[in-house]
């Protein structure tokens, strides 16, 4: 569903995200790193920051502290 958004709506509107990585890329990475439940939670938190009063900037997905290295 996110890929569909990236290749359709996002492609038509152009790069407008105030964050790096973009919110759609952040969502994919958050789900891959933390699983669906926490990934969607992190993505929702990120998307709620998307308004004219937030400066944006670099906002990377936090590392998974439970991940074995």
The domain locations on the chain are 17-62
pLDDT tens digits for 4-38? 655 555 555 556 678 898 888 899 999 999 999 99
32-57 average pLDDT score = 92
DSSP class of 53? T
Q: How far is CA 61 from CA 11, 34, 58, in A?
A: 23, 9, 10
Res 55 pLDDT > 70: yes
Q: Higher-confidence residue: 49 or 4?
A: 49
């Amino acid at each position: 569903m996110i890929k569909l958004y990236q290749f359709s709506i996002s492609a038509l509107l152009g790069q407008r995200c105030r964050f790096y990585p973009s919110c759609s890329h952040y969502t994919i990475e958050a789900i891959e790193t933390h699983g669906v439940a926490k990934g969607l939670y992190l993505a929702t938190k990120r998307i709620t920051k998307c308004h004219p009063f937030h400066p944006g900037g670099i906002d990377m997905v936090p590392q998974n502290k439970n991940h074995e290295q």
